Structure 1
């Protein structure tokens, strides 16, 4: 396809200039089933478009509004194992770019920013397709991409603390839907999203401690030796706590809660007396 070759030639172009026709194609193919086109070319160009000045101001505005208008983040979200997953998860990644750029340059309207925040904190509550790498199509990785989107929202200086319960609910929903272990470092991305909120002060020490206590207690209360999913959830929780502990600055008081729950896991599992 001629346009694919044209865009591929731009991946390493310096300086980068993206035409309106090229941008239209990129927007039309955010979730293309071809993993190389979607991830290696189009997503790369969206990243460079925002952060290497490849987009004009008008083009940035077009991307922000078109993504909202098309609502691909929600397309077929109630259906399992369809190719629509790629449109959803790569829309989440483009949403991450948009919020990260807006955090530095404040180009969104108030209504757009509010919409992106709302999308970011509710997407993982609705997504049920937890596939990681899909043979023949590349990465779906909904939990990881959704966590990136969540993190971009919660670290934004204009993020509303009223949305913090939805940030927590997103992580809880992912854990409680697990029926198999994560294989592709999803826990690291979930932990990073939470840490972003903690380090910028959008999640308070009290909110963090209270939430960890509730979730830790719930997971242990629902753990049973003969119920493998209940173990997978606890194990994922442990890795989230471990990652959060090491991602937080050394003197951050939020580390105390992480370490307490890590130690409790080892004790209850019999690894430590």
Structure 2
């Protein structure tokens, strides 16, 4: 499948600059149209790569960046077909999350979004990880969906943004917790990406006691599931996800030398739940 923008990948900076001066709107429109094209070569190595390169080279206008940032956390992109069984839309949702990572990171340097615009994007995007139900990693013949990892990247980027609204932290923590109970076990290092969210959180001087309470709630829910449903496949999947995440979190805390009480609590729960 050949598109109008593929030749841009082969151009040098000056050629791209000249081309974008005349065709940037058409390029952006087609990139957005194919953001979730279910083909690894296309959505990952062409669309995502090219959008990022043009962003780094500052070949998008401020108006285009603002418009893109505001349209991505909507039902047409980040939440597209979230509630139905469509197998392809996860690529649109997941790569919309990655585009927002690019945009929010770049906004920290250039401040092309107003405070109100940035917070609108983050408020809307904060719901993604909790709501996403298609948690496949690599999909044979189609490439990476990796919605949990991309959603985690987005949350970590939000926490590092200067306009991040602190009241969204509970939403973020709920999103992380929700991933443990999506019905399958992590296969593609999702727990490491989720732990990076926590790593960013602990740099913000967030109250340690709230983090401890969150960890306790996670294991309380796991115990409730075991006591009410028994040793089902769903229970073991959740247990696997939680232990993988908590082990990663433990070493994250250990190496950061922060939140020692949380580290101790996590260690106790890991020891308790490693053997049944």
Structure 2 length-normalised TM = 0.86
Distance, in Å, in 2 between the alignment partners of 1:199 and 1:223 is 34
What does 1:218-229 correspond to in 2, within 5 Å? 218-223=221-226, 226-229=231-234
What does 1:2-41 correspond to in 2, within 5 Å? 2-10=3-11, 13-14=12-13, 17=17, 19=20, 20=24, 21-41=26-46
What does 1:1-273 correspond to in 2, within 5 Å? 1-10=2-11, 13-14=12-13, 17=17, 19=20, 20=24, 21-68=26-73, 71-177=76-182, 179-201=183-205, 203-223=206-226, 226-248=231-253, 250=255, 252-270=257-275
Is the 1:125–1:169 Cα contact (8 Å) retained in structure 2? Answer: yes
Q: CA deviation at 1:163?
A: 1.1
Number of residue pairs the alignment of both structures matches: 267
Distance, in Å, in 2 between the alignment partners of 1:246 and 1:50 is 34
Distance, in Å, in 1 between the alignment partners of 2:130 and 2:273 is 29
Distance, in Å, in 2 between the alignment partners of 1:133 and 1:175 is 18
Residue 196 and residue 51 in structure 1: after superposition, are their counterparts in 2 closer, same or farther (change >3 A)?
Answer: farther
Is the 1:35–1:137 Cα contact (8 Å) retained in structure 2? Answer: yes
| Cα offsets for 1:162-199 (capped at 9, x unmatched) | 1111011111221123x221111111111111221221
Structure 1 length-normalised TM = 0.87
Q: CA deviation at 1:68?
A: 4.9
CA RMSD between the two structures: 2.4
Q: CA deviation at 1:259?
A: 4.3
SS of aligned partner of 2:91: helix
SS of aligned partner of 2:69: helix
Q: CA deviation at 1:235?
A: 2.0
Distance, in Å, in 1 between the alignment partners of 2:153 and 2:120 is 16
SS of aligned partner of 1:82: coil
SS of aligned partner of 1:223: helix
SS of aligned partner of 2:72: helix
Residue 124 and residue 69 in structure 1: after superposition, are their counterparts in 2 closer, same or farther (change >3 A)?
Answer: closer
Q: CA deviation at 1:268?
A: 4.1
Distance, in Å, in 2 between the alignment partners of 1:139 and 1:3 is 24
Distance, in Å, in 1 between the alignment partners of 2:195 and 2:50 is 27
Is the 1:7–1:41 Cα contact (8 Å) retained in structure 2? Answer: no
| Cα offsets for 1:66-88 (capped at 9, x unmatched) | 43567311111112252111111
Residue 163 and residue 28 in structure 1: after superposition, are their counterparts in 2 closer, same or farther (change >3 A)?
Answer: same
Q: CA deviation at 1:251?
A: 5.1
Gaps of 5+ in 2: none
